[in-house]
Structure 1
Amino acid sequence: MNLIQQLEQEEIARLNKEIPEFAPGDTVVVSVRVVEGNRSRLQAYEG
């Protein structure tokens, strides 16, 4: 197992969530928590 696969497996185990399969051409939305000072918000990226 290479390093990237090992890190992916560790991250999946840490999140305790099933990551859905996706393929080229699919549209996905990724939400990122942005912290600005003492405030935080979710920023969604789609592509």
Structure 2
Amino acid sequence: MNENLARAQQAERLGEAQQQRLGHNLARARRLSRKAELAAQQARLALARAL
């Protein structure tokens, strides 16, 4: 009985950890894409100035 409860709690904690990691990765991807977008915009500006 206790073994099943412990196993269920462990599975739940594992699920929570995976969800947390997924959220963290999504936030990181958003940050990186925003950075890339800014860099592209600056490159376009620099190119326009050079021409």
Task: State the TM-score, normalized to the length of structure 1.
Answer: 0.32
Larger relative CO (CA 8 A, sep 6+): 1 or 2? 1
Task: State the TM-score, normalized to the length of structure 2.
Answer: 0.30
- Between Structure 1 and Structure 2, which shows a larger proportion of strand residues? 1
Compare CA radii of gyration and give the structure with the larger one.
2
